[in-house]
Amino acid sequence: REAIRATNLCKVYPNGTEALKDVSLTVRDNEFVVVIGLSGAGKSTLLRSLNRLIRPTSGELALFGEDVTRVNGRRLKQVRRRVGMIFQQFNLVRRLSVLENVLVGRLRFNASPLRHGMSLLRRFPKAEREFAFDCLKQVGIEDLAFRRADALSGGQQQRVAIARALAQEPEVFLADEPIASLDPRSSELVMQTLKRIHEERGIPVLVNLHHIDFAQRYGKRILGMAKGELIFDGGCRDLNEEA
């Protein structure tokens, strides 16, 4: 099955920056893809277009056959639910517990947990809390469930973010520079976690990285971007030959 298809995708930011120039690509259901390129190449714009944090200027971007470039309202929320995403800066709610942060992944996207004074834990039935706990188990940090998010190391916080994305039961998993703020050991753990999710759940994973060594070790397929264009698409062996 085809998970993602970009057709002549372009993004021009309001200041005139062309972040994506006519990008076309296809990602299948069973792929683990690493997108590499220097800072400013357009990797983040490509990933953020998929959950519509960014709206492309022209072209098509299909997620399991549905063009997401023009969806709005309720349909847009559904699209975002299908896409699990993690970021360089984890984006956890610092003063909430780890388990509550994972439960955020179970909230409807229009609900803001911070607007309610009540504990998030009490707003979820037991089955939901167990589901969230299970997501923590999958990333190997269930023993930290009741710690405050901001008491954790960077690598642990990133795994909480992965668990939160898993709690959405996504159909595709995106990671935008997930290891850029982490030490080498935590980076390895996070990449292994992403790989395991891919293998166990059989869902496609796209990871933006600027470390070529990690890209070569983890990417079965590598997409290379430069100045908004897709300039390479192949296995890591092909990449060695080009380099």
* Of 34-42, 60-68, 75-83, 96-104: span binding ligand ADP (CB under 6 A): 34-42
* DSSP states along 88-149: TT----TTSBHHHHHHHTTS-TT--GGG--S-HHHHS-HHHHHHHHHHHHHTT-GGGTTSBG
Site size toward ligand ADP, by CB under 6 A: 14
Of 46 and 135, CB closest to ligand ADP = 46
The identity of residue 98, as a single letter, is: V
Footprint (CB under 6 A) of ligand ADP, residues 174-233: 176
List binders of ligand ADP among 48-87 (CB under 6 A).
none
How many C-alpha atoms does 96 have within 13 Å on its Cβ side?
22
CB of 89 to ligand ADP, least distance (A): 7
**Whole-angstrom distance, CA of residue 207 vs CA of residue 228:** 17
Nearer to ligand ADP, 24 or 30 (CB): 24
Q: Under the criterion CB under 6 A, does residue 15 sit at the interface with ligand ADP?
A: yes
**Backbone phi, then psi, for 241, in 5-degree steps?**
-65, -35
- Measure the CA–CA gap between 4 and 165, rounded to whole angstroms: 18
| Shortest separation between residue 211's beta carbon and ligand ADP, angstroms | 13
Radius of gyration of the chain (CA): 18
109-168 binders of ligand ADP (CB under 6 A): none
Residues that bind ligand ADP (CB under 6 A): 13, 15, 17, 19, 37, 39-45, 88, 176
